[in-house]
Structures are given as C-alpha cells and as structure tokens.
Structure 1
Amino acid sequence: MPFDRWKPVNQYSLAWRLFQRHHTHFNRIFWSDQAARRRVYTFTRGKVKSIPAKDIFPLDEHPRALLENLGEWSQNYNAFDRWARIAAVAALTGYLETFISQLAYAALESCPALLVGGSREIDGVIHLKNNTFPELERAVSPLVRGEWSSRCSAYATLFGSCGFTAHISTLEEMRNLRNDASHSFGRPIASMRMAEKYLVERIDKISDARIQGFLGAVESVAKSIEKDITHRFVGAYESMRIYHNWPRKNDFSGYSLKSVAMDFGGYYQEVTSYGIPKYVGVSLIQHYQKL
C-alpha cells in the first residue's frame, strides 16, 4: 500500500496501539490475580477459623505480619480485594484518558485549523518542523477533565460530534469511583468529609460483572474515538513526528534516501515495535522534507 499522509502507517494510530497494550496488560494482571485468589482459598477449606493464619501462610521474613487468626485473615484479604478493584477502576480510567489525550494532541498538531473550526487546511508537519505549534493544552484539557458530559461537549466542539454519548453514565460512574479511590482510599468522598464516627468504613465491592462492564465501555469509547478522528485528522502524522524526533535524521549527508529510510525503519521498529516498509519510509521522509 503506497504512503498516504492521511492514513496511519500501521493501519491504526500509535495511540490506539498503546491503548490496546494497556488494555491487554490490565486484563492479564487483573484476572491472573483473581485466579490466584480463588486458588488461595482452597488452602483454607476445612480449617477452623480460630487457628493462626501464619500456620497456613507463613511469612518468615515478617513474623508479625500475620498475627490474626484465619477468620480475621479472610476478612482482611477480602477488604484488600475490594480496595484493589477500586484501584483497578482508577487504572482503567487513567489509561483511557491517556489515549484520549495522546490522540487529541496528535489530531490538533496534525490539523491545527481544528482550533478555529477548520479541518485539513494546514498540514501540521510545517509547525512540527519549525516548532511553531499553537498552544494546545487549553483545547485538550477539557477532554480529560471534569464530568464526562462536559468532556463530550468539548470533544464535539473540536471534532464535529461525539460518538460515545451512550457510555457517559458508565464513564461518570468510573470517574466518581476513581475520585473516591484517590481521595478516601476507595470510600465515598461524601461520607468522609464530616465523619460522625472516626472509624474505618467498609469499602463496597465491585463485582466481576461490573469490572467487565467497565472494560467493555472503555474499549468501546476508545474504539469510537480511534475510528472517528484517526483517518480524518491524524493519518501518518505520529510516524512523521517520530521521524522529526529521530536523533540521526540530520546525520546522513551523502546517503541515498533509501538508505536513510532503511535506518529509520530500524529506529521506528525500536520505538513502536512495528515495522515500516522501506518504500513507505521513503515517501514519508519526502513528504516531511518538501514542507
């Protein structure tokens, strides 16, 4: 497939590729822990709750860490699992926001006319080469801060419409849980502001089904954004930004363009783990140089 400025070099944006890695990593570690948790409880079957927990789970290097009995250990382990699930929601929300921010920056750098209601009137590679980007933080910040209804409105203002409105209630639920996790160790913030009892409150458990629902919503939102703006506004810009930041791009005096493209391909593979055909690299470099 020949090089096309408005098509990603590797079919999808690099921001989406990174999102997928985060999403896969989350699934692997979260469900691995749940599998291990179920296995751990098999060691307690038929045991009396009053026996010392350290008799079943010895921690020689920390002899005081498990002074409770088996029943108390179970309560504490369940409490940790509830907290870990809250932390998991915070992680989900975090890498979704990372994806949105990365792709939005790429789109606005690639098509700076978006800031004034335009589209592809200016190829942002010109600003990349001359380091003359307009200020973008003010445009991107509303996409990843505040309530999701306002984020959706900000997204529609920039890109024409918002395709993830159906998930706003779920995203808002996750945002509130993340705030609870970061401010009150997983407990509702409202219950902690003027606590009448200075006691540790129980954390509600987030079920497997709820976690799966959050996972599905996060993936659907990211997929919607990827489909919406990558081919319209980002294209191959991320790859040209990699070329722009390549430390060796000015060290090839006297080399053929094919040789430069081959070396760039190695660097591209190193920083993205994806290959770039030599002929695509040649066209990409030519596009960069002519602007």
Structure 2
Amino acid sequence: MSVSDMSFERWTSRESSTWTFQVFQKYNRELSRMYISHIAANEFIYRNLGKNAQWEDPVSKHFKFRDETHEHTFGSIKGWSDSFNDFDNWTNLNSVMAMSSNLETYLSTVIKLALESDVGVLFGAKRRIDGIEIIKHGRSQPFDFEDKIVSCTKGEWGSRVNAFKKIFGQAPEVLESNISRLEKLRKLRNNVGHAFGRDIELSRSHNVIDAMDMHKLKREKTLEYQKLIYGIARAIDKQLLNDHIGEYQTLYFYHNLRPSLKHDDSNHQRKVGNHMAILKKKLGQFGAAKAGKKFCRELIVYYEAL
C-alpha cells in the first residue's frame, strides 16, 4: 500500500517500531561504531608491532610519549601489552554496562508509553480507554506509572518479567527464555558500575589490602550480550506497539502541535485541510515515517472527535 492510500487506524501503527526503539537503536549504533573502531585499532597496533617488535624491547623503542615519565610505566613491550589487554577487557566490560543501561532506559520509556496510550490495560480493559483522550482534556498523563515502571526495570530479572506479564498479560518468548543470562548481565553491570569491575560484596570487605582481579569478558561474549539485548528490546517493542501503542505517538505529536495551529477559520473542511498539510509537513521534518494526506486528515478527525 502506498503512503497516499494509507488510512489512520488508532491501534495499528504505520511504522514497524516505536520512536522510542528508534532512539534505542541510534544509541546502539553509536556504541557499535566506537566499539568497532577500538577493535580495528587494536588489530592494527598488534599487526604493525608484530613486524619488528620483540616482547623484551623497551616501550620507548616503538611508542612516543608526550610525558617522558610515562616511558617508565612499562618495563617492556610485554608489560605494555599486558596493560593494553586489560584496557581491552575494561572496554568490553564498560560496553556491556552501556548496552544494559540503554536497555533499561528504553524499557522505562516504552513501558510508560504503552501505559499512557492504553491505560485500561491496568484494569484488564485493553484498548478500551484511549490515553490521548485523557491528555487532551487536561492531564499531562493518565496516571502515575512510576511503580509499574520500576517493577519492570529494577531488581532481579525473574521479578521484572513477572511484573511485565502481570501488567501486559504476556511477555516475549525471548525474554522469558533468557532470564538467567539477563541476571548474569545485571550482576556484571552492577559490578562494573559500582565496584570497578569487581565483585561488589567482596570489594566492600574492609579487612583486605590487595586489589581483587577484575572480571574477564571476552569480545565474543560482549557481542553475544549485544545481540541478546537487541533481540529483547525488539521483541518487547513489537508486542507493545502492536497491542497497546499503535498510533499514539503520532496522536501525541498532533496534540502538541495543535496549539500552534489557527482555529478561527469558519470553513471546517478548509481548516482541517490546512491542519492536515501542516501535520504532514511537520512529521516529515521530525523524521517520522512518511504520512499521506489521507492518514493525517483521518488522524485529525479522530482526535477532534474525542
């Protein structure tokens, strides 16, 4: 179906993902570019060192330091390599922490979006109460959803999944079948974020004097976690978009645009036509999927009738 023929349907989105997921993906791609650049630099350095360097060579033979005192940090190329491999591991750990944080931010946002759109789901009345109607007539959001959001984004993953199912009736299979992996990821994230990559409980012991070994995370495992996080976010987005969100984001976009539109035209059809043209243009400038005149007109008529 061409864009011009597409009709507005409240609970069916013309887009394949929420705007929230699109933002999630932009952050994912940003992190991926940084991570891939690190991999390329790592391989380039070792490939070139391998041509003429020996493990016992002094570091200053192959590297230049702006601060001359740094030359004595490593006893040899082998010492530098050991530290550089530690940095590679630290990069893996922090990449996973960033991915996990991005997932939790996405979940908080998309769950709020779904509840704001389909508030009736909290009462077992799916798609019976349109959240945009509540917002239109005076409230910034239907209810305070903070406790629901927290139950799905904080604590152990088993309880998070149960909370998600309690609210929305079901959870994607990829989420339910990977609880143990997600729990390992959660603990790893906390250890990186709060204990410099070490076990949190052990790092809080006051009767030690030696630093503990950092968690080891191979590159292959880092990429596995990235794939898992993407798969879970994509599955949740598909479920919530299809079941509870639909075209809510576009309706909300029009709701925010509406105060800037002129409403004093006595010719109703002409006024709707003008509003339709502006909405179509603004959606394009915003970066959303293209919307035709028919879609925009029907959306406006729907909103104004609420």
Match of 2:3 in 1: none
Structure-2 separation of matches of 1:40 and 1:253: 68
User: Which segment is superposed worse, 267-276 or 189-198?
Assistant: 267-276
Match of 2:34 in 1: 29
User: 1:111 corresponds to which letter in structure 2?
Assistant: D
Structure-2 separation of matches of 1:143 and 1:123: 23
Match of 1:116 in 2: 123
Q: 1:147 and 2:156 equivalent?
A: yes
Task: Kindly report which structure 2 residues correspond to 1:170-249, keeping only aligned pairs within 5 A, or say none.
Answer: 170-194=181-205, 196-246=207-257, 249=260
SS in 2 for 1:267: helix
Structure-2 separation of matches of 1:272 and 1:102: 19
**Cα gap change, 1:141 to 1:131, in 2 (>3 Å):** farther
User: Which segment is superposed worse, 172-181 or 22-31?
Assistant: 22-31
Q: CA deviation at 1:252?
A: 5.7
Q: 1:256 and 2:275 equivalent?
A: no
Superimposed CA distance per residue, residues 132-152 of structure 1 (whole angstroms, 9 cap, x where no aligned partner)? 221111111111111000000
Match of 2:17 in 1: 12
Structure-1 separation of matches of 2:207 and 2:287: 53
Identity between Structure 1 and Structure 2 (%): 25
Match of 1:289 in 2: 304
1:269 counterpart (284, 294, 305):
284
Unaligned runs of 5+ in 1: none
**Cα gap change, 1:119 to 1:77, in 2 (>3 Å):** same
Q: CA deviation at 1:18?
A: 2.1
Structure-2 separation of matches of 1:30 and 1:131: 45
The TM-score with structure 2 as length reference comes to 0.86
Root-mean-square deviation (Å): 2.2
**Cα gap change, 1:43 to 1:124, in 2 (>3 Å):** same
SS in 1 for 2:73: coil
Structure-1 separation of matches of 2:285 and 2:209: 53
User: 1:236 corresponds to which letter in structure 2?
Assistant: E
Structure-1 separation of matches of 2:46 and 2:218: 18
Does structure 2 retain, via aligned residues, the 8 Å contact 1:66–1:73? Answer: no
Q: CA deviation at 1:41?
A: 1.4
Structure-2 separation of matches of 1:176 and 1:14: 29
SS in 2 for 1:219: helix
Superimposed CA distance per residue, residues 111-136 of structure 1 (whole angstroms, 9 cap, x where no aligned partner)? 11122232111111111213422111
SS in 2 for 1:198: coil
Q: CA deviation at 1:266?
A: 3.2
Q: CA deviation at 1:179?
A: 0.2
Does structure 2 retain, via aligned residues, the 8 Å contact 1:9–1:239? Answer: no
User: Which segment is superposed worse, 39-48 or 110-119?
Assistant: 39-48
SS in 1 for 2:49: coil
User: 1:134 corresponds to which letter in structure 2?
Assistant: F
Superimposed CA distance per residue, residues 221-274 of structure 1 (whole angstroms, 9 cap, x where no aligned partner)? 112212222111100001111222237643464363233233223332333453
**Cα gap change, 1:58 to 1:160, in 2 (>3 Å):** same
The TM-score with structure 1 as length reference comes to 0.90
User: 1:141 corresponds to which letter in structure 2?
Assistant: V
2:81 counterpart (49, 74, 78):
74
User: 1:148 corresponds to which letter in structure 2?
Assistant: W
Match of 2:53 in 1: 47
Structure-2 separation of matches of 1:272 and 1:145: 32
Q: CA deviation at 1:170?
A: 1.1
Unaligned runs of 5+ in 2: 1-5
Aligned length: 290
